[in-house]
Structure formats: C-alpha cells, structure tokens
Chain A
Amino acid sequence: MNQAGRGDIPSAYVRDKRTPPPSSDELRARIPGWGVDLNPTDRPAYPKLQHRTDTGAHWDFPERQPEEWPRERSVEHAFVTPVFGTAQPPRGLSGVIRRYSYARFSEGRLAHWLLLVAADRVDAAEHRLRSFASTRPDVPATGLRSEFTRGGLRSRRGRSDARHHLVDPLVVAGPWVAAAGAALVGLRTLARGRR
C-alpha cells in the first residue's frame, strides 16, 4: 500500500510541491519586469548592515542645534541628540506629565507610554477648554461633510468594518457626553447648595 504516492494528498504531507510554479519564461511574458531583482544578493536592502554609497554627510558628528529650553529626552539616550524637533514644546499640566514620564521611565516601561497617552488626553482637554473661549471652538470630529459628499453609505455597503465604524461615534462623542454630564451634575449641585 503506497499511500504517499496518492495524488489527492496535499503537498504539505509529501516531499514535493504538487503544482510547480509557472515557468520563468511564462512569468516573464505575462508580468512586466518579472525577475529583474531575482538575485537576492543584488537587492538594495542587502546586506542589511552594509551600505557603501556616500550618504552626503560631511561631519563625523553633526553640529549641535541650540537647545532653547530643556529638551525632554529618553533616559536611554546619552544626551539630547544633536538635532531634534521643536514643534510643540511641553506646556501646561500635560507638559508636566510628559516631562515626568521622560525623566522617570525608560522606553521599556509601560508606565512611560501610559503616562504619555494620559498626557495626550489632558493636552486635548486643555486645548478644548481654551478653544471654547476662542472664535474657533473644537468640534467632536472633523471631515464629516464627506459622509454626504463622498458617499458614506454607498461606500460602506456590504463591508464588515462598517460594524466598528458604528463604534466611532461612541469613542468620539463619549468623552464629550461624559464631560457635559459632569458639568450638568456640577451646576445642579451648585444650584442646590445656593438654595
């Protein structure tokens, strides 16, 4: 009884692939450029740790960009890197949390990232409050006009991810509803206290 020779047993259970791939001539004829990078040792990312082309750098160590304020940095770095972004310096309560997270925890500690995530939410709340006193108050979500102009319903027909698009309004509006609720309860308590 020679079971392994039976043609209905899938490749994985026998020595060779049952259906060999199409020949290289066939593939070359069908697909523009098939095989031009066939040689694995002649691909741009190979070898991983060797790159002989001049990078354009004309320094051993780059000149240092002036540090206008104590730049927060990972404690895994020896120092503030010679070049860095200055886009949004830390400020407010979120800034305090961010600075603490950088100063206290390495990148390997979950606390580092959870504090930064918490600071992001505080940052958003701080800016939202400030925006209400401005001429351009924040809204819960942007770009929603495209739901009407770019076929929101039509585009989602039959798609499985439409299910969790339904969760989005909750995720987005949840904090706003909670904040409004808290404000309402607060006002009521105040009003009751006055009476």
Chain B
Amino acid sequence: MRAMVYRGPYKIRVEEKPVPAIEHPNDAIVRVSLAAICGSDLHLYHGMMPDTRIGHTFGHEFIGVVEQVGSSVQNLQVGDRVMVPFNIFCGSCWFCARGLFSNCHNVNPNATAVGGIYGYSHTTGGYDGGQAEYVRVPFADVGPVKIPDWMHDEDAVLLTDAAATGYFGAQLGEIAEGDTVVVLGAGPVGLVAAQSAWLMGAGRVIVVDHLQERLEKARTMAYAETLDYDEYDDVVVELKKQTDHLGADVVIEAVGAEADGNLAQQLTGPKLKLQGGSATALNWAIDGVRKGGTVAVVGAYGPIPNAVKFGDALNKGLTLRMNQTPVKRQWPRMFEHVRNGFLTPRDMVTHRFPLEEIPEAYHVFSSKLDGCIKPLIVPSAS
C-alpha cells in the first residue's frame, strides 16, 4: 500500500509498505477514505516528540471502510463506513471505565503518562497511523463508530480529533453564563473551541492569532471578536485593557508546542528542542486570565520540561485543566450540534491533497502558506 513515511525532521515521503495485518483478535483493518493533518502532527514533523522513529506513518484523523475484522469483533462488519477516534483505548481499564479514554492504561507500553494514539510516535504506543491506504485499528468494538447517513465525510473526519478537541477544550474551561472567554490560536481546534464557548453560555468570545485568514474565519464562523497579536507590542496588556483590567474569566489555550510570539521560546523549543515546545501561549494564558479564573489547555507539548510561569499560576489562584481529548465521549452530543448547524467543522477545510502530495501538504500547513487552515488527505485507493 501507499503510506506517508517520516524520514527525519522536515522530511516525509510516500512509500510502498505492506498492508497492516490483524495482530489481536479485536483488531480491524480499515481502508482509509479520508484523512487529515492535525496541528499535533506538526510537533512530530518538526522532530519535537521523542521516539519518533524513521519509517513511522503519521495520521490520527481518518475515516474509512472496514476491510477485515479479527475473530472477537462483534460490533463491526466488513464494509462498514467508520469514523475512528484518534485515541486507541481498551474500554475496560480503570481509566476507560471512568471515561478517560485518552488515558487508557492497556494500549501504550512505552509510557504510562499518555494513552495510545494512531501514528503519533512510539511514545504513544508505536502504532502506524492513517495517512495511508490502510490502517490497523485495535479494539474495533470500542473505538470506531459507523458514520451516520446524514453526516458529511468532511465533518466526520474532523470529529475524530480537531472538532472534538475544540468542544472538549471549551468544557475544560468550565464556562459559566456571561463569561468572557479568550481563545488563543485560531487553528481548527481554536475555531471550534470559540464556537463551543457560545454553546456553553459565554457572554464574550475573543480569539487571538496573527494569521489574517484564520482571524477572519473566527469572525465569520465563530462570531468572535479577534485580536492580531502582531499588532501589539504585548498582546496580554491589550487583553487586560479590553477586559477592564480583570483579565478573561476563561482562557482556552489551543496553540501548543509551536507557539510563536517569543523568539527565545521559539529557538529553545521547536528549533533546538531544548524544551518540550515553546511555552509562549501557555504563559500568555496564565498572564491573560483573571485571578481565580480557569486556563483550559488543549495545546499539546512534548514530555521534556517547559519554561512555564508556574509561580504566577499559583499566585493568581488559577484552575488549570487539560487533557488529550477523550473523543468518543464527546460524540453523541456533538453529532446533534453538527446536525443542528451549531458546530460547523467542515467550514474550516481549505485544502485537499492527494496522498502522493503529502510532503507539500505538510509544508503548506506547517508554514501556514496559501491561507491553509485545515488540509485533508485523500488516499489513492479511495
């Protein structure tokens, strides 16, 4: 089969690989019909995630058709069209039993601090991902869901991660009616977080980024006010001014390890890998939220320690909430919201690349060229 393959930082290509096989009785093999590149893939692409091995196939956002099932699979049949949450999870461990699907203890021998994720290095279990023609899907009775007839494929693929994470991020913010919510980052995750903040009763939503097409999207798709941090010497001071010097009630950090806006953080993080990513957005969140407020972090960081202003977080009495998204837990409610038009994930799709052009897709998405907000990947066999 054809598959995206990592060759080292900033280097990927498409290679011929064997079609994955059933390795466990509850496995399924899925033929991928549509995949996407996530902001998280950029952390791998830039070489920031330890134990990203050469030859690894990325991709944790995908939908497809069941091609083969293992002997113990009961809920899926060959030919089913499925959407697959980015988490690999068993459904039965202490954590899964409590709905912490992203923190499953039975799927990642390499680390206890993170669960299983498709195509996300050996630090999350060593599973090849879905930017390929076929992918191995463990625990087929637990993760995948048949795509509802009414659902658009592009909504379905975004619900497997980016959209679910935006919605989850807003929930982590513990938004109360009338709250002023600031969303850092107008990528796919931040845009859906902004839409979701309204559903939870926000009185004001302000999205911060510096890419014009994304800020425009935040205004049209999420009805948000926007701030371009390039326009200010210090965007946090501007946030304070705009919130009557209180700061925001809730800040949702949807940027993560590639965060921009501070050269020292950029150099020590993404460029030289001396810390688990740049902590600029995280520090802006801590500084920009009001005392006693909540910072919800969905931006992702590597396991190497970061230069975070923890003392300020303590002194301000903040609530910090965060996790990888337990995707499937969000779905029943999100399906309603998508159906009702309250959440509109596929509005963010700007580019569709054939799998063979995935090196260009990564470069465009990583460097934010051509107004790219969300690139999809279409495998050749689909």
B12 touches A142 (CB 8 A): yes
Residues of A within 8 A of B211 (CB): 159
A49 touches B52 (CB 8 A): no
From residue 85 to 142 of chain B, which have CB atoms closer than 8 A to chain A?
Answer: 88, 90-92, 96-101, 105-113, 116, 122-123, 125-128, 138-139, 141-142
A152 touches B367 (CB 8 A): yes
Residues of A within 8 A of B201 (CB): 24, 34-35, 37-38
B25 touches A63 (CB 8 A): yes
B370 touches A38 (CB 8 A): no
**How close is B217's CB to chain A, nearest CB, in angstroms?**
15
The answer to whether the Cβ of A51 comes within 8 Å of any Cβ in the partner chain is yes
**How close is A185's CB to chain B, nearest CB, in angstroms?**
24
Give which listed residue, B100, B229, B359, contacts A142 with CB less than 8 A.
B359
A30 touches B223 (CB 8 A): yes
Residues of A within 8 A of B51 (CB): 98, 116, 119-120
- A63-B24, A140-B10, A172-B10 known; A146-B141 Cβ under 8 A: no
The answer to whether the Cβ of B283 comes within 8 Å of any Cβ in the partner chain is no
Q: Which of B56, B112, B128, B337 has the most CB of A within 10 A?
A: B112
A139 touches B11 (CB 8 A): yes
The answer to whether the Cβ of B200 comes within 8 Å of any Cβ in the partner chain is yes
A81 touches B126 (CB 8 A): no
Grouping DSSP codes into helix (H, G, I), strand (E, B) and loop, the B interface class, with mixed when no group exceeds half, is loop
Stretch at the interface among B28-36, B148-156, B171-179, B307-315: B171-179
How many chain B residues sit at the interface, stated as a range, is 35 or more
The answer to whether the Cβ of B40 comes within 8 Å of any Cβ in the partner chain is no
Residues of B within 8 A of A43 (CB): 171, 200, 333
Grouping DSSP codes into helix (H, G, I), strand (E, B) and loop, the A interface class, with mixed when no group exceeds half, is loop
C-alpha spacing A96/B372, complex, angstroms? 40
A155 touches B368 (CB 8 A): yes
A51 touches B99 (CB 8 A): yes
What does the 1/0 interface line of B343-382 toward A look like (CB < 8 Å)?
Answer: 1000000000000000111111001111110000000000
Give which listed residue, B24, B272, B290, B330, contacts A45 with CB less than 8 A.
B330
Residues of B within 8 A of A110 (CB): 304-305
A155 touches B10 (CB 8 A): no
Residues of A within 8 A of B126 (CB): 84-88
Give which listed residue, B107, B112, B266, B369, contacts A83 with CB less than 8 A.
B107
Residues of B within 8 A of A55 (CB): 91-92, 96-97, 101, 142
A46 touches B171 (CB 8 A): yes
The answer to whether the Cβ of B271 comes within 8 Å of any Cβ in the partner chain is yes
The answer to whether the Cβ of A180 comes within 8 Å of any Cβ in the partner chain is no
C-alpha spacing A159/B261, complex, angstroms? 11
The answer to whether the Cβ of B284 comes within 8 Å of any Cβ in the partner chain is no
From residue 17 to 65 of chain A, which have CB atoms closer than 8 A to chain B?
Answer: 17-22, 24, 27, 30-38, 40, 43-46, 48-51, 53, 55-63, 65
Residues of B within 8 A of A61 (CB): 92, 106
Give which listed residue, A19, A49, A144, A168, contacts B99 with CB less than 8 A.
A49
B75 touches A74 (CB 8 A): no
- A58-B74, A84-B125, A167-B271 known; A63-B329 Cβ under 8 A: no
* Nearest B residue to A142, CB-CB: B359
Give which listed residue, B53, B92, B101, contacts A88 with CB less than 8 A.
B53
Give which listed residue, B52, B122, B272, B360, contacts A149 with CB less than 8 A.
B360
The answer to whether the Cβ of B203 comes within 8 Å of any Cβ in the partner chain is yes
What does the 1/0 interface line of B7-32 toward A look like (CB < 8 Å)?
Answer: 11111110000000001111000000
What does the 1/0 interface line of B31-55 toward A look like (CB < 8 Å)?
Answer: 0000000000000000100111111
B8 touches A51 (CB 8 A): no
A76 touches B112 (CB 8 A): yes
Residues of A within 8 A of B52 (CB): 120
Give which listed residue, A30, A57, A147, contacts B363 with CB less than 8 A.
A147
Give which listed residue, B26, B109, B260, contacts A73 with CB less than 8 A.
B109
A143 touches B361 (CB 8 A): yes
A155 touches B333 (CB 8 A): no
The answer to whether the Cβ of A82 comes within 8 Å of any Cβ in the partner chain is yes
B128 touches A11 (CB 8 A): no
Residues of A within 8 A of B113 (CB): 107
**How close is A10's CB to chain B, nearest CB, in angstroms?**
4
22 A-B pairs in the complex with CB atoms less than 8 angstroms apart: A20-B178, A32-B341, A40-B200, A45-B330, A55-B101, A57-B96, A58-B72, A61-B106, A81-B105, A82-B90, A84-B109, A85-B125, A86-B126, A102-B110, A124-B8, A138-B7, A141-B11, A143-B12, A146-B364, A156-B369, A164-B260, A167-B271
Task: Please list the residues of chain A having a beta carbon within 8 angstroms of any beta carbon in chain B.
Answer: 10-13, 17-22, 24, 27, 30-38, 40, 43-46, 48-51, 53, 55-63, 65-66, 71-74, 76-77, 80-88, 94, 98, 102, 107, 110, 113-114, 116-117, 119-120, 123-124, 126-128, 131, 136, 138-147, 149-152, 155-156, 158-161, 163-165, 167-168, 171-172
Known: A12-B244, A124-B8. 13 other contacts (CB 8 A): A12-B290, A31-B223, A45-B330, A48-B99, A73-B110, A84-B125, A85-B128, A88-B56, A107-B113, A127-B7, A139-B11, A160-B260, A171-B9
Task: Give 8 closest A-B pairs by Cβ, nearest first.
Answer: A21-B203, A51-B99, A33-B342, A143-B363, A85-B126, A57-B91, A55-B91, A85-B127
